[in-house]
Structure 1
Amino acid sequence: MTTLLPTGFQAAALAAGIKPSGKTDLTAVVSSSPCVWAFAGTRSAAAAACVGRARQLYDAGLPLRAVLVNSGVANAATGSGGAADNIEMGELLAGSLDTTPESVLTASTGIIGHRLPMEKVRAGVPRLAGEVQGSVDLHAQAIMTTDTRPKIAERTLSGGQRLVGVAKGSGMIHPDMATMFSFVYSDAAIDQSALRAAFPAIVARTFNAVTVDGDTSTNDMTAVLCNAASGAADTAEFLQALEEVMRDLAREIARDGEGATTLLTVKVTGAGTEADALLAARTCAASPLLKSAVHGRDPNWGRVIMALGRSGARLNLDNLRVSVQGVPVFHEGPLKYDAGQVSKAMNTDEVVFEIDLAVGSEKGEAWGCDLSAEYVRINADYTT
């Protein structure tokens, strides 16, 4: 089913030849009017050129008119030449749209250490402006790398304003400030200061609460753009809808983890702080041992205790509670339960662990996936 972008946004995608597969690999979303925006990018010390440029644009506070993305080549660890290529990307689209390069957000994803094939980029980018249309579907497909399916989420506000988000990510997922890629577009009018003030906490509860393999990408980036085409929105309602869209996308990234067969959800309550709850949840979701147990449908709650103990979150082991698929398995020591029945209950597309740290009233949730032999195969053959 086709998903339309909010009013005032259009998208285009094409195969520029960046990917050897011949699949779509260059895409842009363009707004008919300037957008207020919020952004988060990886804190990796090896951040790609696109992340560094995005930070500069963000700090300048100027509005955006477009997002330009290539997939297949990350343009990370490519030195000053790669940085110049990234700047030229933005200049090429700006020239086609008759806008400034500073109004174009650029993003790249793919293999680290490869520079962009600029002759293909120079040929492809000018074509994008002539092929824009109202559907977000091709945009969502063009940003994919090892993803098995596009990731799209949307919400409609009470005033009719819409939010439509896309994301990509399947491996190298353990975000530190953002996810592999996610862009949310809205036609709501929203105060930029309020949006930027709320965005870090929303990112913490959504994209920074997802993990596939414990590896943080050099290119992690997320942004939300609002063009005001459908009028003012209630700030609280907008921020709630934004968090719901980003949460849906985060869960889809975890569900589509490389080689994954099962979504792993970890719900933590009874924490002293929200930060502790999120830390405990993501540590469990990232544990290779717990992920392997989920793949084998093994209710080995000892791996939960192990992960909690090393997480750094404060807990009360004497009163700690752990449940698997709704079945209590630990409280004041091991509980009696039918391991065979719990194992059968784990044979589904989502396995849920519920944990009460027994030290406070804060809560948090994280999402991951099981660890399969297919994950190793995908990454053993990634460039060869």
Structure 2
Amino acid sequence: MTGAPDFSRLTFPQGFRAAAMAAGIKQSGNPDLSCVVSDHGCAWAFAGTRSTTAAACVTRNRELYAGGAPLRALMVNAGVANAATGQKGARDNLDMADALASVLAVGEQEVITASTGIIGHLLPMDRVLSGAEHLPEELGDAALPFAAAIMTTDTRPKLAQAVLSNGARIVGTAKGSGMIHPDMATMFAFAFTDAAVEQTALREAFPGIVARTFNAVTVDGDTSTNDMAAVLANGAAGETDLTEFLTALESVMRDLARQIAADGEGASRLLTVRVTGAASEAEALAAARTCCVSPLLKSAVHGADPNWGRVIMAVGRSGAQVDVEKLKVSVQGVPVFAAGPLNYDAAAVSQSMKTDEVVFDVDLGVGTAQGEAWGCDLSAEYVSINADYTT
């Protein structure tokens, strides 16, 4: 895979500051506790995992979201998921938010939380609370330390930005490498902007953006207990054209989703599936994501095998309508199926697949809707990483 872009000089939009530290939650000693703080109250939108075993952070964030009050901060621990930890876990999550709120002199309801790591372990609250007390001492405008501190099995931080015509900026960051099949909405995705955006409009648009970006990415088909995505807008840059803003926000989220797929555990290739000719956008996305999650297709991509039959299989079980007499499939731009097998140079196509990104184009032949999803190849390293995850 190609190296990550240089984010060393990327800063948060005006009015946002971040801090990261090694609080001793991770055995590695790497940074594991972080926060982003806004000088002003933020309009916000949120999406959380559909898992029925959702972690305490997701449950509490949903309750705050229903209340609709503005936010001032986000606090993240990347070491312990604090999922399947019962009432003690819920209290610990609340105490984590309250600890940061107290230091910042804001209400605990103005702080949302995110946790990631091993499921079933309680938070080491002495380290969390001590870290929360000292986090504000580290506040600055650099984005990279926060992006690095929220990682678990990621091999690199994930950041993206967009600049709007009035100078407002959107900076997004995400973490995720394994247990990725968000269905929201461990994957986190956070976007911060100094654009002034009305909260109702932001919340109306966000589910569709999530569907086309983070719900269109998959690494292994497993939905985490802790998946979440959120956008915070503090308005420091003034009024912004809503259409321009939402287009830019989706662009940032799409960039982050692709980065997550490309950094899938053990991945050597990004898998992109573009579906056209679908009856609806939802069916196009379903067909594309089913292809991306298929172990057979992912294995074929790893081996640079242009086995288009794996695509035919996947779209057929996706639930999307398909007209086989009009169905078309291309690999790396080379047509391989059009209502039947086509003659093509399999060796040449295989060679073209030995690159950072492998693209399949599929026309379902039943409508005009389209959608795109992203995944990665399936390697022996993925098995090794997850076989040794807790031991």
TM-score range, shorter chain: over 0.9
Counterpart contact for 1:179–1:207, Cα < 8 Å: no
Cross-structure match for 1:85 = 92
Shift of 1:75: 0.2
Residue among 60, 71, 74 paired with 2:67:
60
1:73 equivalenced with 2:61 (yes/no): no
Which aligned pairs between 1:249-268 and structure 2 lie closer than 5 A?
249-268=256-275
Shift of 1:131: 1.3
Q: Percent identity?
A: 67
Cross-structure match for 1:99 = 106
Cα RMSD of the aligned pairs, angstroms, is: 0.6
SS at match of 2:340: coil
Cross-structure match for 2:332 = 325
Aligned length: 384
1:46 equivalenced with 2:53 (yes/no): yes
**Deviations 1:242-274 (Å, cap 9, x if unpaired)?**
000000000000000000000000000000100
Shift of 1:376: 0.1
SS at match of 1:23: coil
1:213 equivalenced with 2:213 (yes/no): no
Which aligned pairs between 1:1-384 and structure 2 lie closer than 5 A?
1-178=8-185, 180-384=187-391
Q: Distance in 2 between matches of 1:160 and 1:283?
A: 39
Counterpart contact for 2:23–2:127, Cα < 8 Å: yes
SS at match of 1:86: helix
Counterpart contact for 2:116–2:186, Cα < 8 Å: no
**Deviations 1:269-299 (Å, cap 9, x if unpaired)?**
0001000000000000000000000000000
Give the TM-score normalised by structure 1.
1.00
Give the TM-score normalised by structure 2.
0.98
Counterpart contact for 2:117–2:186, Cα < 8 Å: no
Taking a change above 3 Å as real, the CA distance of residues 180 and 274 of structure 1, as seen in their structure-2 partners, is same
SS at match of 2:171: strand
SS at match of 2:112: strand
Shift of 1:5: 0.3
Shift of 1:129: 1.2
Cross-structure match for 2:3 = none
Shift of 1:178: 3.3
* Matching residue's letter, 1:267: R
**Deviations 1:29-68 (Å, cap 9, x if unpaired)?**
0000000000000010000000000000000000000000
Q: Distance in 1 between matches of 2:11 and 2:185?
A: 25
Counterpart contact for 2:326–2:338, Cα < 8 Å: yes
Counterpart contact for 2:179–2:186, Cα < 8 Å: no
Q: Distance in 1 between matches of 2:114 and 2:140?
A: 20
Q: Distance in 1 between matches of 2:111 and 2:224?
A: 22
**Deviations 1:191-236 (Å, cap 9, x if unpaired)?**
1000000000000000000000000000000100000001010000
Q: Distance in 2 between matches of 1:130 and 1:144?
A: 21
Counterpart contact for 2:182–2:224, Cα < 8 Å: yes
* Matching residue's letter, 1:239: L
**Deviations 1:78-118 (Å, cap 9, x if unpaired)?**
00000000000000000000000000011100000001000
